[in-house]
């Protein structure tokens, strides 16, 4: 008998159109770029692929358009071994797309047209609620409607699942959502937006973590880029460092981190080990171009950079 997926990723699916450039254009400016790449992306799909490649048994809940981008997305997710029974097709809205510019410093600038992603409703989620019933870990981001995120989080909390929220792109969150979370994983920018606290060191990271704890979040993981991640839980508080690498493109680093975290937790790793694993995976991802194309496999992680 085939074991049902232990991770449910609910979120967006996009097609990423990436242009390499020397610098970001100013308003009204046209610049000549370099290399062009078109890759499957979207925070939800990225994190689902990361979790699957890094040892997780994954189902994906999402919505795509009835177009070539949607068809390519479905085919790609199936090749990654992801359960796509929860991916619905919207006849009215196009699949999501993202335009990404990556500069010479490996920083990125992204504009997303969400399309069908923003029609993923609580009703759609309820149609596939068995995927959540079977899962141990629920992983979500903020590129689908907030009411759907809250609905799933409340169900997961009721059923004692571990819900991880990657609050990106940042938006204000309702208190009822915080209360349902096992873990929240903002980066420094998202942390400042949500808490009003700029993270500059371990002390300010702790202050920001206390904001989330007071909202009811059990575990706070603030990702710090090349520095690793600050972790605050009942059993551990402090920074877990990331391996030093030469970064080429940071586009999917956060998504790789979150997918790796979910995979590690679903496979029984303790929190510190899971974050260390996620740091290692994210560090490997930034050494390659693209979103899903940069996400490593378990085999790749076992080899030196």
Which residues form the catalytic set? 255
More confident residue, 127 or 110: 127
The answer to whether residue 87 is domain-embedded is yes
Q: What is the pLDDT of residue 105?
A: 87
Number of domains in the chain: 1
Residue 39 has pLDDT above 90, yes or no: no
Exposed, middle or buried by CB within 10 Å (0-12, 13-18, 19+), for 110?
Answer: middle
Distance CA 225, CA 211 (A): 21
Note the pTM of the prediction, 2 decimals. Answer: 0.92
Q: What is the pLDDT of residue 301?
A: 86
Do 250 and 44 touch, CB atoms closer than 8 A? no
Residue ranges of the binding site for ATP: 187, 223-228, 254-255, 279
**Which CATH number fits the domain that encloses residue 263?**
3.40.1190.20
Q: What distance lies between CA 43 and its chain's CA centroid?
A: 5
For 142-195, how does the pLDDT look when each residue is reduced to its tens digit (9 = 90+)?
999 999 999 999 999 999 999 999 999 999 999 999 999 999 999 999 999 999
The answer to whether residue 96 is domain-embedded is yes
Mean pLDDT calculated for residue range 233-246 = 91
* Among candidate residues 252, 177, 260, 249, the one with its CA nearest the CA of residue 212: 177
The answer to whether residue 189 is domain-embedded is yes
- How far from 73 is each of 1, 16, 38, 59, 85, CA to CA, in Å? 28, 11, 12, 14, 13
Q: What is the pLDDT of residue 1?
A: 57
DSSP string covering 258-280, please? HHHHHHHHHTT--HHHHHHHHHH
The answer to whether residue 193 is domain-embedded is yes
Do 36 and 19 touch, CB atoms closer than 8 A? yes
Phi, psi dihedral angles at 98 (to 5 degrees): -135, 135
Across 45-54, 72-81, 250-259, least confident range? 250-259
Q: What is the pLDDT of residue 182?
A: 98
Residue 230 has pLDDT above 90, yes or no: yes
Q: What is the pLDDT of residue 110?
A: 84
Across 8-12, 108-112, 127-131, 211-215, least confident range? 108-112
The answer to whether residue 1 is domain-embedded is no
State the residue range of the domain holding 297. 7-301
Q: Is 131 left (phi over 0), alpha (psi -120 to 50) or beta?
A: alpha
The answer to whether residue 154 is domain-embedded is yes
pLDDT tier at 120, thresholds 50, 70, 90? very high
At 6, list the tokens: 């232990």
Residue ranges of the binding site: 14-16, 42-46, 143, 187, 223-228, 249, 251, 254-255, 279, 285, 288, 290, 294
The answer to whether residue 57 is domain-embedded is yes
Residue 96 has pLDDT above 70, yes or no: yes
Q: What distance lies between CA 187 and its chain's CA centroid?
A: 11
Across 54-58, 86-90, 241-245, least confident range? 241-245
Q: What is the pLDDT of residue 258?
A: 98
Q: What is the pLDDT of residue 297?
A: 93
The answer to whether residue 56 is domain-embedded is yes
More confident residue, 122 or 245: 122
Q: What is the pLDDT of residue 283?
A: 92
């Amino acid at each position: 008998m085939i074991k049902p997926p232990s991770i449910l990723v609910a979120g967006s699916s996009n097609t990423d159109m990436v242009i390499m450039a020397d610098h970001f254009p100013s308003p009204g400016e046209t610049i000549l770029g370099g290399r062009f790449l078109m890759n499957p992306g979207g925070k939800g799909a990225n994190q689902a692929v990361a979790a699957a490649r890094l040892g997780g048994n994954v189902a994906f809940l999402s919505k795509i358009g009835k177009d070539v981008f949607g068809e390519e997305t479905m085919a790609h997710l199936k090749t990654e071994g992801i359960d796509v029974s929860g991916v619905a097709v919207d006849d009215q809205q196009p699949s999501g797309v993202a335009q990404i510019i990556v500069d010479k410093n490996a920083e990125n600038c992204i504009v997303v047209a969400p399309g069908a992603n923003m029609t993923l409703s609580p009703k759609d989620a309820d149609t596939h609620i068995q995927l959540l019933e079977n899962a141990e870990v629920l992983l979500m981001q903020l590129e689908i409607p907030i009411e759907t995120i809250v609905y799933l989080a409340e169900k997961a909390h009721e059923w004692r699942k571990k819900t991880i929220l990657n609050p990106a792109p940042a938006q204000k969150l309702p208190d009822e959502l915080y209360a349902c979370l096992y873990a929240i994983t903002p980066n420094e920018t998202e942390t400042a937006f949500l808490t009003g606290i700029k993270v500059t060191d371990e002390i300010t990271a702790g202050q920001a973590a206390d904001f989330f704890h007071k909202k009811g979040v059990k575990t706070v993981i603030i990702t710090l880029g090349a520095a690793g991640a600050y972790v605050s839980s009942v059993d551990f508080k402090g920074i877990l460092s990331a391996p030093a690498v030469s970064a080429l493109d940071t586009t999917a680093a956060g998504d790789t981190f979150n997918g790796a975290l979910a995979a590690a937790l679903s496979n029984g790793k303790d929190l510190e080990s899971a974050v260390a694993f996620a740091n290692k995976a994210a560090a490997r991802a930034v050494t390659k171009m693209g979103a899903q194309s940069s996400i490593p496999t378990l085999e790749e992680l076992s080899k030196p950079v």
